[in-house]
Amino acid sequence: MGETKHEPSFMPGTLDMLVLKTVSRGAMHGYSIAQFIQDASRDVLRVEEGALYPALHRLEVRGLLRSEWGTSDNNRRAKFYRLTALGRRELDNEAEYWTRIASAVTRVMQTA
Amino acid sequence: MTLGLKPSRYVTCATFMNHLLAIWHRLTALLRRKRLERDLDDELAFHLAMREADYRHDGIADAEARQFARRRFGNVTSLKEQCRDMWTFSPFETLLQDVRYALRTLRKSPGFTIVAVLALAVGIGANTAIFSLVDAVRARALPYKEPARLVALWGNVLRTRVERRGNSYPDFLDWRAQSKSFEDMAAFDNQTLTFAGIDDPERILVEFVSAPYFSLLGVTPVRGRTFSAEEDLVATPAYVVVLSDGFWKRRFGADPRIVGRTVTLNTRTYTIVGVMPPRFKGLTDTAELWVPFAVYAPPQTMATRSTRGFGALARLKPGVTVAGAQSELDGISRQLERAYPDTNEKRAVEVSPLDVELFGALRPALLTLMAAVAFVLLIACANVANLLIARSEARRREIAVRTALGAGRGRLLRQLMTESCVLTALGATAGLLLARGAVAVLITQSPVTFPSFVTPALDIRVAAFTIAVSLACGMLVGLAPGLQARSVDLNSALKDTARGSDGHRSQRVRNALVVAELSLAVVLLVGAGLMIRSVRNLMALDPGFDPTSVLTLRVSIPRASAPAAPVPPGALPAPSEPVIRSRALLERVRAVPGVGEAALGTDLPLDGNAAAGTYAAEGMPPTNAQNVPRAYTHRISPEFFSTLRIPIVAGRTFTDADIAPTSSAVVVSDRVVKRFWPGQDPIGKRIKFGQLTSASPWFTIVGVAGEVKYRGLPDNPTSDPDVYLPFVERNSQYALAVRATVPPSSLVAPLRGIIRGADPSIPIYQVATMEERIEEQTSQSRFMMWLMGVFAAVALSLSVIGIYGVMSYLVTQRTREIGIRLALGAGGRDILRLVVGNGARLIAAGILIGLAASFALRRLVSSLLFGVTAADAASGIAVAVLAAVALVACYLPALRATRVDPLNALRYE
């Protein structure tokens, strides 16, 4: 049961950042988070769906996300995740960090 | 990736907050564990349903849609576990889970569990018990202040450190004055004195000690004080005494105003100055009173450099080693040798750590036992490992299914390990209970007397040992099946057609385990065999006299009237008439029905009262100071030799005519003749006590007696001969030996009656039959024999169970093959040969390895053996026993194999 064989693997921690960013738009359930990341990245980043849930639970335990049960678009009971204040701060930090790293890497790639 | 750095203060602070928050979330999660579990199921189910619906929307058929959704999601079980881990204190909780699971599986197979737990309990229990004994004889266990720095000093000859002869007071004073290695030094010795109490006269062990003795040991009196330095001066000794707690309570009813009262010992009155705390009984461990060393002997004796007889206690200064102190004292000894060549030629002193002095004799025996129980435990572990392998074979399917359902291999391995650790923990618990009982029995029932302060307890160190041992066992035992589980091939295991390479390899592991068990058992059996032989040799040893039906006791005859005038210090009290003369007492004893013969002597064989002195043979001066002839002297009544059946090899024993203070007759033991007059007639030759130049009178040899093991079995500690003199009335303490025509112990009461009838103030003590004294001498060997025997028996049964298990398993595994062989016309004999031959190979390998190992280990026990070598016939018998029992264990499953019904066997599986 190959787990992460053909999926492009993320840099450690980037999945957390993407999840936080996605959820910052409003409460979402796991399925729509996975779907959003895939769509927004134009299918480049295909989250291995199962792996999303340990990440969600980890972020919740760390207090970056809060969850509540609600009803989905098609009237099913679903668990919705929402960003907390702590999560927003973390997201800002991560985003800033990411931008710095990404631009640094880009600069290196262009000069070399 | 370590790209870029976040501001570090933020990191630490946030990390800390995050940790707190996470812990809080986990704690609250504990309260709603069930709901979280349900939510997780619902959440994942929702996701799958959504994905499935999407696929269906894209026009994919129902069944396929579900399959795709699942495939895209990944391993649900594993992911669930990962999510759960987020909410739990995971390592601890999985451990608990594993333990619960292990207990459940163990409960499901009670037979296996009971056998395994029992085997481990015996192994771990025996180890715990023996370890607690070993731990109790460490230096640390001594009930004194900083015991590691305490040493005993013994005079010896020629710096060989072989023969100890005690110290002389002038030497002792010189050591104390000149040495710089010690904080302080104290002389000590002990004597048994008569305490004339209000009721019974009592024989009391009194220690004669220098003033610093108590502070060296670090004990302080609970009442009053100990001795001052002035009270310890030989010129002006003070007759003061310190009481033990027991004596104070027993004889003085714990009188709070005890200090200042008096105690009378052997007609001398001592003033009580202090009382020691409970449980302090001095270095002898039996002392009841302490008096200053200055009263040990008259001043002229104390001033004689050649009169040696006591030990010294000293405390090393911090940082000084035993070797350092030894070399300093060696130097001082050489100075004394130059200064006093007459008395100190080749004299030296041995520095010996106090714990070696007090525990030295016990340690090699206990270490041997420790090795023996370690072997027993290893055998038990091998057995349990074998059982676990057999079980893991049976559980291959279960393990494969769990792996297929997403259980990680590490997790599985950990769970198997947990299972074996739970098993050993159960074993350890039962073992601890077992050990508690065993230690109590060992201490109380042991023929070896342990010092009173050896109090093995199941304390924190022993508990730590047991936990460590059982964890090690758990790992060891779980390793084999654990490794096996790692290599389970899912496909074949699930299909269950496999009897492939795995089965073969596990059989090899099991065979190796059985061979190891058998060889360990061989080592123990050989050890036990040697012990048994050794004890039999000891018991069969001719002690030089006949110990059967002999009762011995000791009396101290009071003088009819105490001297009226106070005796000046150091002078001998004026002689006075005893309350009953020895002849009259002997006559009374002889008249008791059941008494065949009776004799008396100042001491008897093996009663520990012998004393040695120097002597000289006429015309044969010693060549130097260290080969001055030395002999043990005994004053005896004429019937002594016939009563104890000591052969007279030449001449005669004493006659009544010899019993006179002026008598010059002497009987010597054979060694005197061998030394001075080999091949000549010794009768009529003369010896004297002291040196040739001494003014002492000559004694004429009238007879030669056979050598007697007078001072110890299997032999006297030194080869000095015995010299017998006629008994004289001056000796007020002596021993009676009675050869009985009835069981000797039945004579104790009538003899007491007849002696007390003569005078009620006569103390009677050291009552024992000669056979008891011999048993005492062999007690350690017999103790070792019994324990080794028990351990070897346990080892034998465990290893036989082991080989039986393996052979039974083999037969079950090969039922199909056996069925085919039978169907093809093989006879029962062929099948028997097949199975038993397999077992015999294992047994032979085990025996060979075991014999080689016991040969390698023979040095360990050689000090405990007497008259046997490792190549003794006893080893052969031990091995034969093992081989026979193990073959029977193979034969039974083999017999079962011959009864295999070929049809059934082929249908099997």
Element housing B272 (H / E) = strand B268-275
The tokens for B397 are 């399917």
Integer Cα distance of A62 and B20 in angstroms: 9
Please give the share of chain B, as a percent, with pLDDT higher than 70. 89
Q: Quick check: A3 contacting B, CB < 8 Å?
A: yes
Mean pLDDT for B222-251 is 90
pLDDT digits over B701-733, tens only?
A: 999 999 999 888 877 877 889 999 999 887 788
Let me know: does B511 contact B806? Beta carbons within 8 Å: yes
What pLDDT score does B85 carry?
76
pLDDT digits over B758-807, tens only?
A: 888 888 888 999 998 888 888 878 888 888 888 888 888 888 888 888 88
Whether the per-residue pLDDT at B488 is higher than 70: the answer is no
Q: Would you call B22 and A62 a contact, using CB atoms and an 8 Å cutoff?
A: yes
pTM, to two decimals: 0.71
What pLDDT score does B754 carry?
92
Element housing B380 (H / E) = helix B363-394
Q: Virtual CA dihedral for B22, B24, B25, B27, nearest 10 degrees?
A: 120
Integer Cα distance of B767 and B755 in angstroms: 13
Element housing B355 (H / E) = helix B354-359
Label residues B422-449 b or e (16+ Cβ within 10 Å = b). bbbbbbbbbbbebbbebbeebbeebebe
Query: B248-256 long-range contacts, Cβ below 8 Å, gap at least 24?
Result: B248/B275, B251/B195, B251/B197, B256/B223
What pLDDT score does A4 carry?
37
Which of these, B27, B87, B45, lies nearest to A54 by C-alpha position?
Answer: B87
Let me know: does B316 contact B182? Beta carbons within 8 Å: yes
Sketch the domain layout of chain B as residue ranges: 8-88, 147-359, 363-540+779-907, 558-562+579-761
Q: Is B742 left (phi over 0), alpha (psi -120 to 50) or beta?
A: beta
Higher pLDDT, B572 or B361: B361
What pLDDT score does B94 carry?
74
Residues 6+ apart with CB under 8 A from B129: B373, B434, B435, B438, B439, B442
Q: Virtual CA dihedral for B640, B641, B642, B644, nearest 10 degrees?
A: 80
Q: Is B766 left (phi over 0), alpha (psi -120 to 50) or beta?
A: left
Integer Cα distance of B507 and B530 in angstroms: 34
The one-letter amino acid at B38: R
pLDDT band, residue B558 (cuts 50/70/90): confident
Whether the per-residue pLDDT at B122 is higher than 50: the answer is yes
Q: Per DSSP, what are the bridge partners of residue B650?
A: B704
Most confident of B341-355, B383-397, B398-412: B341-355
Q: Virtual CA dihedral for B765, B770, B774, B779, nearest 10 degrees?
A: -50
Element housing B863 (H / E) = none
Mean pLDDT for B614-634 is 80
Residue A89: closest CA among chain B residues belongs to which residue? B14
Q: Would you call B46 and A78 a contact, using CB atoms and an 8 Å cutoff?
A: yes
Interface pTM, i.e. ipTM: 0.83
What pLDDT score does B735 carry?
93
Question: What's the mean per-residue pLDDT of chain B?
Answer: 83
Q: Which of residues 24-83 of B touch A (CB under 8 A)?
A: 25-26, 29, 39, 42-44, 46-47, 49-51, 53, 72-76, 79, 82-83
What pLDDT score does B175 carry?
92
What pLDDT score does B815 carry?
79
Residues 6+ apart with CB under 8 A from B712: B606, B777
Which of these, B798, B854, B783, B823, lies nearest to B380 by C-alpha position?
Answer: B798
- Picking from B6, B39, B47, the nearest residue to A49 by CB comes out as B47
Higher pLDDT, B456 or B550: B550
Whether the per-residue pLDDT at A12 is higher than 50: the answer is yes
Higher pLDDT, B816 or B846: B846
Integer Cα distance of B851 and B860 in angstroms: 15
The tokens for B735 are 């021993």
pLDDT digits over B692-702, tens only?
A: 888 889 999 99
pLDDT band, residue B670 (cuts 50/70/90): very high
Let me know: does B239 contact B291? Beta carbons within 8 Å: yes
Residues 6+ apart with CB under 8 A from B105: B419
Whether the per-residue pLDDT at B52 is higher than 60: the answer is yes
Which of these, B278, B224, B227, B228, lies nearest to B256 by C-alpha position?
Answer: B224
SS3 of A54-75: the string is HHHHHHHHCCCEEEEEEECCCC
Structural domains of chain A ordered from first start: 14-111 (1.10.10.10)
Higher pLDDT, B549 or B565: B549
The tokens for B651 are 């001449």
Interhelix angle B409-445/B363-394, rounded to 10 degrees, is 150
Closest-CA distance of chain B to residue A26, Å: 18
What pLDDT score does B8 carry?
40
Let me know: does B332 contact B167? Beta carbons within 8 Å: no
- Contact list in A for residue B53 (CB cut-off 8 A) is 74
Mean pLDDT for B120-141 is 87
Integer Cα distance of A90 and A97 in angstroms: 10
Let me know: does B790 contact B372? Beta carbons within 8 Å: no
The angle subtended at Cα B852 by Cα B848 and Cα B855, nearest 5°, is 140
For residue B700, the tally of other CB atoms under 10 A from its CB is 14
Please give the share of chain B, as a percent, with pLDDT higher than 90. 28
Count of alpha carbons within 13 angstroms of residue B391, beta-carbon side: 23
Q: Would you call B47 and A31 a contact, using CB atoms and an 8 Å cutoff?
A: yes
User: Which residue stretches of chain A are H helix?
Assistant: 14-23, 30-40, 49-61, 85-111
Q: Would you call A63 and B1 a contact, using CB atoms and an 8 Å cutoff?
A: no
Residues 6+ apart with CB under 8 A from B767: B551, B552, B553, B554, B748
Higher pLDDT, B361 or B541: B541
What pLDDT score does B11 carry?
47
Q: Would you call A31 and B51 a contact, using CB atoms and an 8 Å cutoff?
A: yes
Mean pLDDT for A95-107 is 88
Count of alpha carbons within 13 angstroms of residue B784, beta-carbon side: 33
- Please state, in angstroms and as integers, the Cα–Cα distance from residue B752 to each residue in B201, B287, B640, B758, B767, following that order: 14, 25, 20, 10, 10
What pLDDT score does B625 carry?
61
What pLDDT score does B726 carry?
92
Closest-CA distance of chain A to residue B1, Å: 8
Integer Cα distance of B483 and B764 in angstroms: 70
Most confident of A26-30, B16-20, B508-512, B821-825: A26-30
Integer Cα distance of B195 and B748 in angstroms: 22
- Picking from A50, A61, A76, the nearest residue to B87 by CB comes out as A61
Flag the least confident range among B145-159, B536-550, B564-578.
Answer: B564-578
Interface test with A, best of B38, B50, B55 (most A CBs within 10 A): B50
Q: Would you call B73 and A49 a contact, using CB atoms and an 8 Å cutoff?
A: yes
- Contact list in A for residue B82 (CB cut-off 8 A) is 53-54
